[in-house]
C-alpha cells in the first residue's frame, strides 16, 4: 500500500515539475502548458489546478523577492545617508544610489 502512495506521489511530482519547467524555463503560456498536460493524459481540471498552484507560487516568490529588495535597498540608502551626514569626510554616494535603485526596483515589482 505504501508503494502505491510513493508511486502516485512520484507521478504527481513528475507532472508538477514538467508544468513548472514549461512555465518558467520554456516560457509557455498557461494555456499552452495546460494543453501539453492534457496531451500527457491529465484531465483538464487537474491540469488547471497544477498550473494555478504553480502560478501562485511564482507570484509569492516574486513578491518576497521584491520585499527583500525594498528592505535591503532602504538599509543601504539609510546607511549611506547617515554616514554622509555624520560628517566623517566622505560622501557615500554609491551606497545611497545603489540603495535607492534597489528600493525602487523592489517597490515597482511589489505593485506589478
Mean local confidence (pLDDT), 25-36: 94
The three three-digit cell numbers of residue 13, written as one number = 511530482
State the average pLDDT for the chain: 91
pLDDT tens digits, one per residue of 79-112 = 999 999 998 888 899 999 999 999 999 999 998 7
Number of domains the chain contains: 1
pLDDT tens digits, one per residue of 43-57 = 999 999 999 999 999
Residue 67 has pLDDT above 80, yes or no: yes
CA distances from 4 to 8, 9, 13, 48 (A): 6, 8, 14, 24
Structural domain range at position 37 = 2-110
Amino acid at each position: 500500500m505504501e508503494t502505491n502512495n510513493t508511486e502516485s506521489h512520484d507521478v504527481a511530482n513528475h507532472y508538477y515539475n514538467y508544468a513548472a519547467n514549461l512555465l518558467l524555463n520554456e516560457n509557455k503560456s498557461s494555456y499552452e502548458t495546460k494543453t501539453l498536460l492534457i496531451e500527457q493524459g491529465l484531465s483538464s481540471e487537474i491540469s488547471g489546478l497544477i498550473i494555478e498552484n504553480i502560478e501562485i507560487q511564482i507570484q509569492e516568490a516574486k513578491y518576497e523577492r521584491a520585499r527583500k529588495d525594498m528592505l535591503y535597498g532602504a538599509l543601504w540608502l539609510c546607511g549611506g545617508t547617515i554616514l554622509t551626514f555624520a560628517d566623517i569626510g566622505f560622501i557615500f554616494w554609491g551606497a545611497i544610489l545603489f540603495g535607492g535603485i534597489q528600493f525602487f526596483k523592489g517597490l515597482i515589482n511589489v505593485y506589478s
